[in-house]
Amino acid sequence: MRGTSLCTQTDNITSARMARIRQAGTHAELAVRAALRCLGLSYRLNVRSLPGSPDLANKRRGFAVFVQGCFWHQHTACARATIPKRNTEFWTAKFEVNRKRDARAIRELRQAGYRVIVVWECQAPRSAALLVRLRRLLWIA
């Protein structure tokens, strides 16, 4: 593999990016939590007993929500879904693993009868749109 040697500068940049994205992810998750509460829906966090450990889920109501970081989960056509210029092969492989894992978890949940919602971190700040979308997807009148 080419360009896999450790580069301190790259690591620093990547760490900063990761920290920023983790922050954004938390923010996005809070927005989803607020939206679900607004709809009167209870949920549990990080439900490890379900495929892919959904960030939020309610087994009785049969829904699962993944709040995906645009960078880590490579949101299609999103400006945040950049691929680092250093160690490109490493990152491409890593993202591919993430995407496959996501797709499999969603497939398994749907097969088990769950309604699955993926909320991207870049969408979450638009809370009104998020509410409409959650309401529609969860079939709440």
Residue written as tokens 């797709």? 103
d(CA 129, CA 9): 39
Task: Residue 99: name the closest of 81, 124, 125, 123 by CA.
Answer: 81
Site for Zn ion in 109-128 (CB under 5 A): 120, 122
What residues between 41 and 80 interact with Zn ion by CB under 5 A? 70, 75, 78, 80
Please tell me whether residue 21 binds Zn ion under the rule CB under 5 A. Answer: no
CA distance 65 to 118: 6
Q: How far is the CB of 4 from Zn ion (least distance, A)?
A: 27
Nearer to Zn ion among residue 24 and residue 50 (C-beta): 24
Q: Which residues bind Zn ion (CB under 5 A)?
A: 70, 75, 78, 80, 120, 122
